[in-house]
Structure 1
Amino acid sequence: MIAHIWKVGRRSLAIALLWGLLCVCLWHPPGWAQSTPPLLPEESAGYPVILQDQTLFRIEEGVASFPASFRAQTISERIEAFAKRSELEPEQLRIVENDRAQTVDIRWSTQVIATITQADADAADTTQQALAQDYLQVIQAAVVSYRRSYNPQVIALGALLTLGLTIALILSIVLINRFVVLSKGRLRLWQGDRIRGMRVFGVELIPADRVADFLFELIKLARLGLLLLLLGLYINLTLSFFPWTKGLSQQIFSYFQQAILDLWQSLLSYLPNLFFIGLIIAITGYTLRLVKFTFAEIRRGNITIPGFYPEWARPTYNILRFAILAFAATVAFPYLPGAETPAFQGISIFLGVLFSLGSSGAVANFVAGIILTYSRAFVVGDRVKISDSTGDVIEKTLLVTRINTPKNVIVTIPNAMVLGSHIINYSNSLRNEKTPPLVLHTTITLGYDVPWQQVHAVLVEAAKATQHILEEPAPFVLQTSLDDFYVSYELNAYTNTAALMPRIYSEMHQHVQDGCNAVGIEILSPHYAAMRDANQLTVPPDYIPKDYTAPGFRLFSLNQLFSPSQVNDNGQPPAPEASSAEDT
């Protein structure tokens, strides 16, 4: 491990030396290349005279009908034309006094490069000769620098420096990425030892692995910033090596420098607001931790408040947390950067309107969730029936309720729909001692010939033989209706295991079927036709008279049935001799 770190350290040192050498070559060229002398200080007034994107000096006054801008442009064009003629030496430029025009000229042979008037000298607070001498030195140095930049040796050196800079950039990127990978492994090894979780009041708020992940994200953010810095430095240096892009390099550097200065000044001016926002964040954070700790203890039962149920702790904490965060955001809003600008205020209004229009359903679910929470209609773990869905409540939030059906199907129901539907809670007796146990009931229909006492006994025994059915209160049977052909018997049994209702019902039905079969009761609903001749009475045997015999069929001829002369006073055919059922 030490060898690996030493190897990485050597690479880092080599890359740092390479970057340093390139920077030295940029700001301190080799001895054979003359350095550019300092230019005249730029003033805020006037128009610049430019050569190769460098401002040499500024013209503030016009001459006759020629404005200062025209003079500056003309001088710039003349200096560039002179610099491009490599056969001309900068020493051939000289200062000539023009007594007729009362000006001092900078000439090459008879060609005027620049004219200095008394107004120019007054604007610079000097004499015409002194100002002309300064302009001459600046122009000569600029011409030398211009010609040197187009020298093939300088261009070749720029190409070599670009190659070295590219290699240094690639090696730097590789080294930075390897360092990030190595730091991730180090953080995992230090987790729990050097990197520990954040604890408040003995409660771990942020575990060690989350702290390690946060540090790794900071390292990745630092890598991004470093890569952007190296890329910007690479582009700026590469462009500065060649005369065609040197001006662009200076512009980019000036933009970057100005952005850094503006950012630094803005940061300095924003420090008081930043301190106040940090104070708000710190107070809000500690307040939330205290509130969370309090409600966690209430949920665990360590803190008891009369009339406040433990299941209310989590939703109440969520509501209070939202209120605290909303209050903190309201207080900190005026101190945000750009909070007073019309653009920021317009965006805030737009987002508020957009949220109001698009969150009507969410607000309805949120309000319904609060009502359901504090009405205690159900809690997590209850077996409920909401509309057409039956199952166990596995999650209850302020927006939705999720239930798990007996078939292990997760059903998500918006709280607004839950509040608008009827809710059947099968598990309420488990939470409320004053509520009687849940009653399971099932109905069978049997004929009138089966004694009801026997049916009651069989059904009660079947219920008692079923698991999860309570012995006290005892099961009971209700005769719910006396229909045309059968009697409806409803078996009722108590249980405190609502989650096993399908299995209890199945086992109860099995015992009912076995009990009826054991005593010879057929589980069916008989139906009878209107003809009752030769049929046994459908009443229990105990209620049939001892001398009762089933009547036989009565037979009539068609002539007797339809002849009007052969009817008795009651409008019926005369009764024939009764024949027994056996004779029939």
Structure 2
Amino acid sequence: MPAFSRSTPLPVLPLLSLLLLLALLSLPLTPRAAEPPQLVAGAPAAAAAPAGQVPGAAPGPVLPAPTSALVFANRSVFVFRAPLAGYPPSDRAAGALRRLEAAMARGGPLKPAIRSIPEGTQVLLDGMQLFVVTPADINLLAGDSTDSVAGAAAAHLGMALAEHQEQGSLRYLAVAAAYCAGATLVYALLLRGLSLLHRWAARRSAALLGMRLRDVRLKNVRVLDAEHYIVFARHLLNAALWLLFLMATYLWLAFVLGRVPYTRAWGERLSGYLLDVAGDVGRAVAGALPGMVLVLIIFACARLVALTASSFFKRFESGELQMGWLDRDTALPTRRIASVVIWLFALAMAYPYLPGAHTAAFQGLSVLVGLMVSIGASSVVGQGASGLILMYTRALRKGEYVKVGDSEGTVLEVGMFETRLRTGLGEELALPNAWVMGQTTKNYSRAHTGTGFVLDASVTIGYNTPWRQVHAMLELAAARTEDVAPSPKPYVMQVALHDYYVEYRLVAYAKAEAPRKRVEVLNQLHQHIIDVFNEFGVQMMSPHYMADPPAPMVVPKEDWHLAPARRPDHNPAGASPGKD
């Protein structure tokens, strides 16, 4: 045997010995017939009462006799299944073997033949009866006849006799040994060639994978590690190598056993088994091909329909089309739902044509997967349903400024399972859609058509200040705020008349240009309200006002920039001055 490299996963010689042992143990060989029992001259065995039955008693249920095979030269000639004339199958097989040995001892051409008789069909050797094939020995329901079965037995007998003669021929054994030696040499060279090919393929695949995967980069950064793929390719090559080893060993073993007369039956069984497996695989592949063609056609049609639907809904997403309830807000979820429905329908249509779809294992696995999905996805389905409700009711839209419960911010995305907000402080909140559905939502971006979000500021002023002056000052503060929209015009309302003060509320609008904008705009608006009230000498006692103080609680304009504050013309470089 050739020496193999260290890269070979296992030693070859122990593997071959193991394969040979397993092959011999796994073959369904008929055991060699035991030493034939001595037949008692005189009355046949049927004259004796069956075991366990008293002579002269009423016959009871008779159990079927065990079968017995006539084996000669390690080849099964015929299997006796029923008694004949009181002789059980074992006695029939033993008698046939004795008659066969007697015919061989006499010499002659040893030519098998068959002859029909009323009891069945005789199997003859040189005109002498060896045994009789009766209707009870064959399967009449399968359409067999005694003549056909006897003919097959005679053919097996002829092969066994020829092999027995070959076993005694030194010339034939020498030729068989030469064939076996040549096959073994070819087998060893083939194993050596496969080993060398394996080492070359391992080196070549490692070099190619390392070179190809090194060039796979994203923004000049390697995204794939070649080591994992090289290890996987090495394991794949090892599996392919040993598969070829096993196939070569199987073929070599079948050939060698078929050259030796005594083991030829084993070699024929090995070859026949390989051909049967190859035929079964070929028939299975051929039977699955029409179904696979239909599956491919179904999935191709599904992909075409999915692409068409995606192209159609993208027109609505871009705003080119609008039709009833379908617009740019609902087009995306509708496209995803349509895609899922199309592929589920395609899978349901293709399922019966998948190979193994009707097997119990495949069906059990489908039930198990469906049960796991139904149990584990209950909350997911609830979240998805809530997301669809939010999308199709248009309760929230991207870019709107809303308040959901205690969370307030600009809507970044309304997804299938969660809604994301960006607060005025730059935080990003992920709110489960089921929770959003159970909360009160305030939408500040829909107070007026065509505007951004709404702004409001409340102050409480004493009754001694004219309300018209308060209105004018609040409107002036809104006008001084840059990000407040001039249209619609800001307005002021007296929302409550308390015991000691009047509550005024300024309502204005601003454009939602950035997620942090509303907090910044409110901050500027509050600053300008304080400045305007100080400028006109009106004191603010917000939020509580109970009595007038001894002196007006206002800040003179000359004190607006006391240290550490600075006047606008004294601000350091880069600072953004506030408005007076």
Relative to the length of structure 1, the TM-score reads 0.58
Q: What is the deviation of 1:360?
A: 2.2
Secondary structure of the residue aligned to 2:329 is: helix
Is the deviation greater in 176-185 or in 334-343? 176-185
In 2, distance between residues paired with 1:454 and 1:239? 106
Identity of aligned residues (%): 26
Residue 331 of structure 2, aligned match among 290, 313, 317: 313
Which of residues 16, 23, 30 in structure 2 aligns to 1:47?
A: 30
Note the residue ranges of structure 1 that are not aligned, 5 or more in a row: 1-43, 75-93, 105-115, 190-212, 539-584
Residues 304, 438 of structure 1: CA spacing in aligned structure 2 closer, same or farther, 3 A cutoff?
closer
Instruction: Name 2:244's counterpart in structure 1.
Output: 233
Gaps of 5+ in 2: 1-26, 34-71, 81-86, 112-127, 133-149, 218-223, 258-262, 553-580
**Match among 166, 169, 173 for residue 195 of structure 2:** 166
Kept in 1: contact 2:445–2:454 (CA 8 A): no
Q: Does 1:377 align with 2:389?
A: no
Counterparts of 1:503 and 1:155, CA distance in 2: 89
Q: Would the aligned equivalents of 2:202 and 2:234 in 1 still touch at CA under 8 Å? A: no
Aligned equivalent of 2:381, options 344, 349, 363: 363
Q: How many residues align?
A: 423
CA distance in 1, matches of 2:479, 2:354: 72
**Aligned twin of 2:353:** 335
The AA in structure 2 aligned to 1:465 is R
Residue of structure 2 equivalent to 1:524: 541
Task: State the 1:466 CA deviation.
Answer: 0.4
Return the offset for 1:148: 8.9
- Structure 1 stretch displaced more, 337-346 or 464-473: 337-346
| 2:431 corresponding residue in structure 1 | 413
How many angstroms does 1:225 deviate by?
6.4
SS in 1 for 2:330: helix
Return the alpha-carbon distance in structure 1 between the equivalents of residues 528 and 431 of structure 2.
37
2:509 partner amino acid: Y
Query: Does the alignment pair 1:289 with 2:343?
Result: no
Distance 2:416 2:313 in 1: 17
Q: 2:371 aligns with which of 353, 357, 362?
A: 353
- Confirm or deny: 8 A CA contact 2:401 2:453 kept in the other structure: no
* Secondary structure of 2:409's aligned partner: strand
Give the corresponding residue for 1:300. Answer: 318
- Where do residues 255-294 of structure 1 align in structure 2 (5 Å cutoff)? 260-294=278-312
Deviation per CA, 1:378-402: give whole Å up to 9, x if none: 2222222222222222222333222
Q: Residue 509 of structure 1: CA displacement?
A: 0.9
- Picking from 497, 512, 531, the partner of 1:514 is 531
> Is contact 1:475-1:492 (8 Å) kept?
yes
State the alpha-carbon separation in 2 of the partners of residues 445 and 232 from structure 1.
90
Partners of 1:251 and 1:45 in 2: CA distance = 9
SS at match of 1:364: helix
Aligned position for 1:574 = none
Mapped contact 1:48–1:56 kept (Cα < 8 A): no
Q: Alpha-carbon deviations, 1:186-231, whole Å to 9, x = none? A: 9x89xxxxxxxxxxxxxxxxxxxxxxx9xxxx99999986653333
Q: Which has the larger displacement, 358-367 or 270-279?
A: 358-367
Counterpart of 1:521 in 2: which secondary structure? coil
Q: Structure 1 CA distance, aligned partners of 2:425 and 2:276?
A: 67
CA change 1:222–1:511 in 2 (3 A) is: same
The question of 1:440 aligning with 2:459 is answered no
Give the 3-state SS of the residue equivalent to 1:228 in structure 2: helix
Query: Which has the larger displacement, 391-400 or 153-162?
Result: 153-162
Q: Which amino acid aligns with 1:343?
A: A
Matched residues in 1 for 2:524 and 2:267: separation? 87
1:393-542, aligned counterparts within 5 Å? 393-428=411-446, 432-433=449-450, 438-497=453-512, 499=515, 500-524=517-541
CA contact (8 A) 1:440 1:494 kept: yes
Taking a change above 3 Å as real, the CA distance of residues 472 and 178 of structure 1, as seen in their structure-2 partners, is closer
Q: Is the 8 A contact 1:240 1:250 kept in 2?
A: no
Report how far residue 291 of structure 1 moved: 0.9
AA paired with 2:240?
L
Q: Give the alignment partner of residue 105 of structure 2, picking from 98, 115, 121.
A: 98
Q: 1:140 to 1:398 in 2, by over 3 A?
A: farther
1:378–1:428 CA contact under 8 A, matched in 2: no
TM-score by length of structure 2 reads 0.58
Kindly state the Cα deviation for residue 339 of structure 1 after the two structures are TM-superposed: 2.2
Q: Is the 8 A contact 2:351 2:357 kept in 1?
A: yes
Instruction: Determine the C-alpha separation between the residues in 2 that align with 1:292 and 1:220.
Output: 40
| Distance in 2 (alpha carbons) for counterparts of 1:119 and 1:521 | 133
Aligned residue identity for 1:375: T
**SS of residue in 1 equivalent to 2:426:** coil
Distance change >3 Å, CA 269–CA 501, structure 1 → 2:
same
Distance in 2, matches of 1:140 and 1:326, equals 71
Report the CA distance shift for 1:130/1:407 in structure 2 as closer, same or farther (over 3 A). Answer: closer
Amino acid at match of 1:501: R
Distance 1:59 1:449, change over 3 A: same
| CA offset digits 1:406-462 (Å, max 9, x no partner) | 3333322222222222222222368x54xx764311112334454444433322211
Q: Report the equivalent of 2:576.
A: none
Comparing 285-294 and 262-271, the one that deviates more: 262-271
Structure 1 CA distance, aligned partners of 2:159 and 2:364? 58
Question: What is the CA–CA distance in structure 1 between the aligned matches of 2:129 and 2:482, rounded to whole Å?
Answer: 117
Q: Deviations over 1:231-277 (max 9, x none)?
A: 3113555799999x999999999987765543322110111111111
Q: Name the CA distance, whole Å, in 2 between partners of 1:127 and 1:328.
A: 55
Larger Rg: 1
For residues 4-153 of structure 1, what are the structure 2 equivalents within 5 Å?
47=30, 57-61=74-78, 97-98=104-105, 118-119=130-131, 124-125=153-154, 131-138=160-167
Determine which of 380, 389, 405 is the counterpart of 2:407: 389
Partners of 1:508 and 1:527 lie apart in 2 by 22
SS of structure 2 residue aligned to 1:443: strand
Distance between the aligned counterparts of 1:154 and 1:304, measured in 2? 78
Deviation, 1:351, is 2.9
Q: Counterparts of 2:351 and 2:382 in 1: how far apart (Å)?
A: 27
Aligned-partner Cα distance in 2 for 1:450–1:496: 33
SS of alignment partner, residue 315 of structure 1? helix
Contact residue 462 and residue 508 of structure 1 kept, 8 A: yes
Distance change in 2, residues 1:335/1:97 (3 Å):
closer
**2-structure distance, mates of 1:46, 1:60:** 12
